[in-house]
Structure 1
Amino acid sequence: MAKLAAEGKFSGVVLLSHRGRTVLSRSYGMADREKGLPHHEGTAFSLSSAGKPFGAVAVLQLAQQGRLKLSDTVGTHLRGFAGDIAERVTVHHLLSGTSGLNTPDEDVHRVFRSREEVREYYEQWVRQSVPVAPPGTPTGHSGAEVGIPALIVEAVSGTSYWDYVQENILGRCGMTGPAFPTRPQWLTDPHIAHPYMTLADGSQVDAVRHLDKDSPDPDVLGKNPGRAFIDAPGDGGFATAPDLVRFARALGDGTLLDRPWAELLTGAKIPHSASSFGAYGMPVRIVNGQWVFGRGGGNPGVSASWNVYPYTGWVGVVLGNCDGLPLQEITGQEMQAITGASPGGGSGG
């Protein structure tokens, strides 16, 4: 990691924890270059897709309380969806990535100005989803499979997705970072890392301070994470590395979910390969005879990964705020160090 940092390919925090005790914690580079603020263990980073499991936990909390069932269809809780979605697609289909739905491309150039604008846009966006395969068919990263469960959480709980997750998940874990900061907070809070996005000419800019700049990366073409006023319901969020260790431990000790429900969250649902499976909101895999679960995420100037090794009590976290980080290689080495397996990829995006 020090070598990558010296080469300008990593700026961020790496943390390894064993049964709640920090074994390794290293910080490299700057959270805000303009203000000269270095990274430290208390720096909060954008999680991108690595925050999606928060939504799955929220749904399972409500299921544990008997307020919804995983067999409920979309129409049980939400109005206005076409019959082939409302009557056939279930909560289980959405959480497991098997809804058969496709969501149109987002307007990545839109600059949002309020929480209300973000929520309205993403509700209308997921309501444009259409069936492209029968329910039960793996459809992967469909926006509907993140956005519709968030709408169900709001309908059942009577509060916004952001407030529900803040109170019932992040707050309950004792997570201290700003969970869903708005862009004004991102600009002013010295504890939040700014994303440094690489442009076509190879230069890097602070995405939050340069909303007119686009990423040339084909995987995130035209995006700029700073344009979000707040992360979309069901997606993203911000956390420090110790926060993610607290979240991982809270999944296993009954703080967030009773044990059967926690096991349901991470239980293998859909086979992806010989030893990799889809669970609820995250991939799980068998590595050298033990289960590993977690989630990775990426955006222009954003890299995030957290992995949990429940058999041995290890948790690994990598959080970065610049492009060019070989995240899969790094998490593969993490898995090798912890499980003794040969390196081979990370926790998925």
Structure 2
Amino acid sequence: MGSVRGIGRRRLLAWGGLTAAAAPLAGTRLGHAEPGKGRIPPDTRPGGVFDRYVAELAAQGGFSGVILLSHRGRTVLSRAYGMADKERGVRNHEGTAFNLSSAGKPFGAVAILQLVQQGKVLLSDTVGTYLTGFAKEIAEQVTVHHLLSGASGLDNPEVDVQRVFQSREEVRAYCEAWARRARQVAAPGTPTDHAGAEVAIPAMIVEAVSGMTYWDYVEENIFRRAGMTGSAFYTRPRWLTDEHIAHPYMRLADGSLVDAVRNLDLSSPDPWTPGKNPGRDFIDPPGDGGFTTAPDLVRFAHALRDGTLLERPYADVLTAPRTPLGPAPGGLASSVTTSFGAYHLPVHITGGQWVYDRAGANPGIAAGWSIYPDTDWVGVMLSNADGLPLGEILQRQEQAIVGPWNS
């Protein structure tokens, strides 16, 4: 996780990434009102309040990346600012792929539910049903449901943030060994604080059941199926050479920004990610991250809605409200009081409608996507530089879409 002004990264992501809500992505529930459906709020249009806010932020050096607002599959607002690769003079554009960090975690939940839909996995099964090498209490008591809903009672083993990985195989082996070091620190069903093992273990289950690596499974069964042609789990060599992938610009202690993937010897001083550099990972850990474009995230949202990725009952399971959450941290969407944890994403009610979204941050990386199923809006924010006010951007995006004209 990286520099996010105004909000503690771990607290933001533990809360769920951003604001959120719970209703079936596959469609609006029977009898549920559809506030403002079909209207284009003025603040979402080019030249509107949100557009002007981001443009001013970018002009002040506070934003590098892409924003996109889509309604019923049609782009209402799309803007790109800053450089994808300063060294080669490549600018960010709508087709630039950005790293998602924790905003990619819901792909793992979708993968598990696809296997549930096929009858190959049961949400009530314990970890030991599919995997070996875990402590007895984890193998016999922690279920797939506990892991996906963020209520496993597991802790986070320490991560070697200085290690520079050199292959997919090395990353996979390290992550499996790391997950097996997780300890049971509370009873299953106890909400946890962004426990990484809850993401790594389901990815291991996907691999054990499908016979594919997690990366290959998601690319084939989610990205390709949804038409997300600009999305993949790129390796560091590809990150270095492909001009369509944004480089992460990490802020150092002296205030300067450096290309993290070209400077593996440098580290983030941020207190939430001390010593970290995302370029050291040869590929994102199974269950986490991935690279995608803003239009591809819109495609992902609609592929959930129309049954391409999951049949409707299983899409409902993905976004069903589970653990009640408190108000957003740091004043983010502070008017939201009805929010819940769902499967690897939070869900909430705002302005009389549901919203689901997920955010992620790492040094030089910030990402957030929001789905408004009742009014068929999708909002995307992808960035490749430290220092942006992530929470404020996401809050203003939500205000533009769910303003008083939709109540």
Q: Structure 1 length normalisation: TM-score?
A: 0.97
2:283 partner amino acid: I
Question: Which residue does the alignment assign to 2:75?
Answer: 22
Deviation of 1:32 after TM superposition, in Å, equals: 0.2
Deviation of 1:30 after TM superposition, in Å, equals: 0.4
Q: How large is the RMSD of aligned CA atoms in angstroms? A: 1.0
Q: Does the residue aligned with 1:281 lie in a helix, a strand or coil?
A: coil
1:1-349 mapped onto 2 (5 Å cutoff): 1-273=54-326, 274-340=337-403
How big is each residue's C-alpha offset from its partner over 1:85-127, in whole Å with a ceiling of 9 and x where there is no partner?
A: 0000000000000000002121111000000000000000010
The runs of 5 or more residues in structure 2 that have no matched partner are 1-53, 327-336
Q: Are the equivalent residues in 2 in contact too, given 1:284–1:291 (CA < 8 A)?
A: yes
- After alignment, is 214-223 or 192-201 more displaced? 214-223
| Relative contact order higher in (CA < 8 Å, ≥ 6 apart) | 2
2:400 partner amino acid: A
Query: What count of residue pairs does the alignment treat as equivalent?
Result: 342
In percent, how many aligned pairs have the same letter? Answer: 69
1:322 partner amino acid: A
How big is each residue's C-alpha offset from its partner over 1:220-261, in whole Å with a ceiling of 9 and x where there is no partner?
A: 111101001000000000000000000011111100000010
- Check 1:289–1:297 CA distance in 2 against 1; reply closer, same or farther (3 A cut): same
Deviation of 1:140 after TM superposition, in Å, equals: 2.8
Deviation of 1:291 after TM superposition, in Å, equals: 0.7
- Check 1:341–1:73 CA distance in 2 against 1; reply closer, same or farther (3 A cut): farther
1:331 partner amino acid: L
Deviation of 1:178 after TM superposition, in Å, equals: 4.0
Alpha-carbon separation, structure 2, partners of 1:42 and 1:81 = 42
Alpha-carbon separation, structure 1, partners of 2:158 and 2:389 = 26
Alpha-carbon separation, structure 1, partners of 2:61 and 2:272 = 21
Q: Does the residue aligned with 2:381 lie in a helix, a strand or coil?
A: strand
Deviation of 1:2 after TM superposition, in Å, equals: 1.1
1:147 partner amino acid: A
Alpha-carbon separation, structure 2, partners of 1:204 and 1:290 = 39
Q: Does the residue aligned with 1:315 lie in a helix, a strand or coil?
A: strand
Deviation of 1:8 after TM superposition, in Å, equals: 1.1
Alpha-carbon separation, structure 2, partners of 1:15 and 1:143 = 29
How big is each residue's C-alpha offset from its partner over 1:3-37, in whole Å with a ceiling of 9 and x where there is no partner?
A: 11111111000000001000000000100000000
Q: Does the residue aligned with 2:224 lie in a helix, a strand or coil?
A: helix
Q: Are the equivalent residues in 2 in contact too, given 1:103–1:125 (CA < 8 A)?
A: no
1:89 partner amino acid: V
Deviation of 1:341 after TM superposition, in Å, equals: 6.3
How big is each residue's C-alpha offset from its partner over 1:181-231, in whole Å with a ceiling of 9 and x where there is no partner?
A: 000000000000000000000001000000000101111111101001000
1:61 partner amino acid: Q
| Runs of 4+ residues deviating >6 angstroms | none
Alpha-carbon separation, structure 1, partners of 2:62 and 2:70 = 24
Q: Are the equivalent residues in 1 in contact too, given 2:223–2:231 (CA < 8 A)?
A: no
Alpha-carbon separation, structure 1, partners of 2:56 and 2:62 = 9
2:150 partner amino acid: G
Alpha-carbon separation, structure 1, partners of 2:126 and 2:404 = 41
Q: Does the residue aligned with 2:399 lie in a helix, a strand or coil?
A: helix
The runs of 5 or more residues in structure 1 that have no matched partner are 343-349
Q: Does the residue aligned with 1:56 lie in a helix, a strand or coil?
A: helix
Q: Structure 2 length normalisation: TM-score?
A: 0.83
Alpha-carbon separation, structure 1, partners of 2:59 and 2:397 = 20
Alpha-carbon separation, structure 2, partners of 1:142 and 1:160 = 22
Alpha-carbon separation, structure 1, partners of 2:232 and 2:298 = 15
Alpha-carbon separation, structure 2, partners of 1:246 and 1:193 = 20
Q: Does the residue aligned with 2:67 lie in a helix, a strand or coil?
A: strand
